[in-house]
Amino acid sequence: MPLKGRSIFLPEEELQFLTNDEYFVFQLIGCQVITEQGDEVGQVKDIWFIPGNELLIVAGKQQKKEILIPFHQSICLEVDLVRKIIIINPPEGLLEMDEI
């Protein structure tokens, strides 16, 4: 395959439409992650795709750590691409436990 291992670039307006709960990776990178209470968690710097789930890799505001946050509707309550904000409701201990 002559294109294997190469990048393909398209203008954003030529991308296919996604459903309301689907996002392109480039849309999520750079989003600020905040809790429902308004506490800043950090900024999305990458996404890991693992079987059955995706994890947001968040550069944490506190103590300069990285935090793994499952990108699941039960945790990520709202994604506002216009404001580049993801509002989360993390289970108790998630923000401390998943640091890398």
pLDDT tens for residues 36-56? 999 999 999 999 999 988 999
Entry pTM = 0.80
- pLDDT of res. 1: 62
**Which domains are seen in the chain, by residue range?**
28-97 (2.30.30.240)
The closest alpha carbon to 68, from 93, 37, 36, belongs to 93
Which of 24-28, 54-58, 93-97 ranks highest by mean pLDDT? Answer: 54-58
Question: Is the per-residue pLDDT at 98 higher than 50?
Answer: no
Mean pLDDT, the chain, whole residue set: 85
Widest pairwise Cα distance in the chain: 50
